[in-house]
Structure 1
């Protein structure tokens, strides 16, 4: 396909043209965390199925989740959950008609990103403190 339409005007720019911004990356991450939550739900189903099946199978699944790679996956799942929720709150605020100016959009992106990291670390610190 040619780079221009019938009128001679250029077609839509390619991704190489766009400047990467925080809000663009947050939009992509919101979609990616949604996909990760879908996969994480399968882990939850696996864990619940193991709990309903037998003690030996549940112990095996607990061993997988308790391993260092399992802990990393669970930490990532926790962050995806918190980050997706923060993005959802951000969108909920936009649904009220507020926060559309560029300064507010940039600030809400920074707040959502920082809060997702801080809340995830706090949740895991609390969980390890309780254990």
Structure 2
């Protein structure tokens, strides 16, 4: 049978990635979210310290739904990135490296990040 030279369409929705791959992708996404959120947080903090009008502006912003959603996403990113980083650091020391332990720790990182985000959503609302 002759192979076709046509490009292959990969349907990413049908590919089942292992939990470790999902944790790794989440770690990268959370890193980007943190890299974007830190300058925004510093700007809002500086604005709130500038004068009374800036403080009132930031306080008005904190009551909006998009701001609350951004806070919850940032808290998820911080939790996931921290836990994923500790998981990776431990694997560098050969702790939790066997496949079964690695899968368990990946599930722990993913679930714990979501739980922390849900707690943040309850606190923020």
Q: Same fold (TM over 0.5)?
A: yes
Counterpart position of 2:106: 109
* Residue 16 of structure 1 pairs with residue 1 of structure 2: no
Q: Kindly tell me: are residues 16 and 105 of structure 1, through their superposed partners in 2, closer, same or farther at Cα, counting changes over 3 Å?
A: farther
Choose 80-89 or 42-51, whichever is displaced more.
Answer: 42-51
The alpha carbon displacement at 1:123 in A equals 4.4
The alpha carbon displacement at 1:41 in A equals 0.3
Gaps of 5+ in 2: 1-7
Contact 1:65 1:74 in 2 (8 A): no
* Residue 90 of structure 1 pairs with residue 84 of structure 2: no
Count of aligned pairs = 116
Gaps of 5+ in 1: 1-13
Counterpart Cα distance in 2 of 1:124 and 1:22:
25
| RCO comparison, higher one (Cα < 8 Å, 6+) | 2
* Residue 35 of structure 1 pairs with residue 32 of structure 2: yes
Counterpart Cα distance in 2 of 1:73 and 1:88:
22
TM-score normalised according to structure 1 size: 0.76
SS in 1 for 2:95: coil
SS in 2 for 1:74: helix
TM-score normalised according to structure 2 size: 0.80
Counterpart Cα distance in 2 of 1:44 and 1:99:
35
